[in-house]
Structure 1
Amino acid sequence: MTVLIGYQAGMIDISGRRALSALPAFAALSALAVAACAPAAAPGRLASAEVPASAEAEDADFVTASGKPLSVRQIDAFVERQMRDLDMPGLTVAVFDDGEIVYEDARGLANTATGRPVEDGSVFEAASMSKTVFAYMVMRLADRGIIDLDRPLHEYLPMEELAHDPRYREITARMALSHRTGFPNWRWFDPAPESWGIQRGTMYMKADPGTYTYSGEGYAYLSEVVAKLTDTDMTTLDGVFQREVAEPLGMTQSSFIRTDYVAEHKVTGHFGREPSDEVWPRSYPDDTPLTFGAAGRLHTNAPEFARFLIALMEGEGLSPEAHRDMFAKHTQVPLDSENHRITGETGWGLGIAIEPTPYGTRYEHGGNNGEFQSGYIIFPQRRMGFVFMTNSDRGQEFNAAIEQFLTTGAEALPSSAVASQPDR
């Protein structure tokens, strides 16, 4: 276990310019993701119900969104209890406040069968949290004019599978990043109704473009467009991620594809205490570990993802306009929908779900690849938040618990009383 206090994200040279859904294991059916988007201004300018910090809070290692001070010892004890109560094999978690990582931990087992431990450099599947990182990468490219967020994607790269349905020609990068393509989540796991007569695995339009439909397919299509515009392909697009995101932010252990480092340091996913035999997440039958997966195949750990989130909150690597655009409301989730009822989220920015709270607007994303689950929440106005990844199918319950603990300082309900969150 590592407990770290005092990391400060550094500024980077920007070269002329700095609930959970994801790909399930291919054998499992993923629930359609949900999330939402509330009105949002630029980070640092958000209207919020700030709670003044007390003198006690000023001396704390971390202050919750509600203003309650917590020490590293209290956070560590909470994590230890949750690991025990939920019987999760392994975990990587980081907590940050005022732009600094105040707590990070890597604990448990990478594989229960072999007894291999989780180590500081172990990597986990980020699952659908990958979408936020990919969105940031796209915004970096948009800042330099490589892609126009509002130009129809078919003008860059036609989607032959939907050539028969002209509606898809309206879809833009902005719509893909904010889940308004009208695509299904994944054609294999979210097939068309039988009455439509469309064979499972065939691409189709689930709704008209502009309609909220959480979709990994939208991210996959956009990634193919980005590959074309950057003179790469789906096996070399990770090089763009390394250049635009990983290298500037010091994410030396992170990759969207299997590298030598990932192969050596990746932990094994588990259902209960049983290791999974799925070694790589897939959304299509022909996916390989060398295929870039924008929607859910980032491999990383909590400290590296926390560095990314701190940079994102600060707007490092982005123009002010792009920074505001990522956090602005682009998609409204109906307030009478089950999605809103379960998650509380009301809409989407670009790669980020948005939810109003009594303590200010919070931004979040979760991930659920079945045997790997994850989540993050950030409050940009406070420059605080957390991120975790686990090689367990109990991560949604941990997400609910740590969300409540780091927002209010209160312990969550016993795990048996926590409602299962849908994929997002």
Structure 2
Amino acid sequence: MPGRRSSRPATLLAACLLLAGCTGATGTTATTTATVPDRVDVERSSRDSDALLERVLADDAPGCSAAVGVDGEVVWAGARGLADLASGRPLTTSTTLDVGSVSKQFTATAVLLLEQDGVVALGDPLSRWVPDLPAWAGTVTLGHLVHQTSGIPDYLADLEAAGVLLTDRRTQQDALAAIAAHPELAAPPGARFDYSNSNYVLLAEVVAAAAGRPLAEFLADRVFGPLDLAMVLDPSGADPANADVTSARSYTRTATSVPWQPAGSRFEQVGDGSVQTTPSELVRWADVYRTGALGGPELLAAQVGDPVPVEGSTGYGAGLFVERTGPLSHAGSWAGFLSGFAVSGDRRVAVAVSCNGDQAGTDDLDRVWPALRGEWL
């Protein structure tokens, strides 16, 4: 059962600033009032990005949507492939997809907003907010959960070991029961970084208990709404029975020699994933890491400052991998959906990609994501 995986990270011509066009076969370059960094040549990079999608993605198979933002403004977006194989509906830059673990930064931000409100503290024990857990919940803090150092095993591995399929319906309570079934932690809290989806399912419960409303409602009111972001936390977006013509269906296959098979998930858990949106909205969101527009310098410092060590120069902040030199990134994989999100070291340029086909060995995200990061970042 595939999990919500962790991260895998010239000048603008005046004519392109003045035109709403600068279009390619698969993408568009938007007019922008932002002062583009000297290293970024929007016209050339847009042309090369259009050519990349045309070259590596088929127009009759699952595909990818991608976008680039500068200072929170979309300067290029492109898409190629099909959102729904059964109907032949094309994937467009306005098609929404499940972004998997890229969602974790929003859950972490919700917790940090509640801390800023004085409602919770990262030093609070988990047991204060989530009942009916083993004794170890008194030793795990909210900060351990945010930074993936709790030592709590991943509930997705537990469900997989029990033979649960992604197409089986499972609730938030089912996930909590799997977590609570562990009498001991895999490591002492704070001992080491150990990526576990359980941490963020539990944070969703913390938000619900502390705010008195579900995480989805809190994000809509305190994050998505104030920033005018077309995003929603809704696990049904990945449901294979979802018939919404504005969203994509997902697919998997084991090799290029076999047909694509419908994928998707009926899991209802939130916190570790399940945000539905487009790459264009993700790169607009990314500008909070430059401006601190959501909660000011205090929240920004909590989101990306003092990350816990992961390996080499990489650390983990609030739902994001943070490089010592400044770049941010996270990837997501869930039930046939694949996503990548990255922000440059100066926090001015952001790139996001979402795909709806997961192929064993190598997939569309592998072919598109590194190339777009190299082009723009």
Aligned equivalents of 1:252, 1:209: Cα separation in 2: 36
1:188 aligns with 2:165: no
The Cα offsets for residues 186-206 of structure 1, whole Å up to 9 and x where unpaired, read as 3426869xxxxxx98743512
Cα distance change on mapping 1:389 and 1:88 into 2, 3 Å: farther
Q: TM-score, normalised by structure 2?
A: 0.76
Matched positions, count = 325
The Cα offsets for residues 118-173 of structure 1, whole Å up to 9 and x where unpaired, read as 24432101000000121122222221112212211212223x2423xx3x322222
The structural deviation recorded for 1:384 is 0.5
Q: How does 1:2-401 map to 2 (within 5 A)?
A: 28-30=1-3, 33=6, 56-59=10-13, 67=39, 69-71=41-43, 72-84=46-58, 89-158=62-131, 160-163=132-135, 166=136, 168-186=137-155, 187-188=157-158, 202-203=181-182, 204-210=184-190, 211-232=192-213, 236-258=214-236, 264=244, 265-272=246-253, 274-278=260-264, 280=265, 282=267, 288=268, 291=269, 293-335=270-312, 346-356=314-324, 360-379=325-344, 381-393=346-358, 394=363, 395-401=365-371
The letter for the 2-side match of 1:318 is G
SS of aligned partner of 1:148: coil
- Native 8 Å contact 1:94 1:101 kept in 2: yes
The Cα offsets for residues 41-100 of structure 1, whole Å up to 9 and x where unpaired, read as xxxxxxxxxxxxxxx514387999993634222222223223249x86132211012432
- Native 8 Å contact 1:333 1:347 kept in 2: yes
- Native 8 Å contact 1:191 1:200 kept in 2: no
Cα distance change on mapping 1:190 and 1:363 into 2, 3 Å: farther
Aligned equivalents of 1:371, 1:303: Cα separation in 2: 20
- Which has the higher relative contact order, 1 or 2, with Cα contacts under 8 A spaced 6 or more apart? 1
- Native 8 Å contact 2:263 2:335 kept in 1: no
Aligned equivalents of 2:57, 2:36: Cα separation in 1: 21
The letter for the 1-side match of 2:260 is E
Q: Percent of counterpart pairs with the same letter? A: 25
The structural deviation recorded for 1:113 is 2.8
Cα distance change on mapping 1:191 and 1:361 into 2, 3 Å: farther
The letter for the 2-side match of 1:274 is W
Supply the RMSD in Å over aligned alpha carbons. Answer: 3.2
The structural deviation recorded for 1:334 is 3.8
The answer for unaligned runs of 5 or more in structure 1 is 1-27, 37-55, 193-198, 283-287, 336-344, 408-424
Aligned equivalents of 1:267, 1:217: Cα separation in 2: 26
Q: Equivalent residue for 1:410?
A: none
The answer for unaligned runs of 5 or more in structure 2 is 17-28, 30-34, 163-176, 254-258
The letter for the 2-side match of 1:271 is T
- Native 8 Å contact 1:93 1:104 kept in 2: yes
The letter for the 2-side match of 1:400 is P
SS of aligned partner of 1:248: coil
Q: TM-score, normalised by structure 1?
A: 0.68
Aligned equivalents of 2:347, 2:145: Cα separation in 1: 29
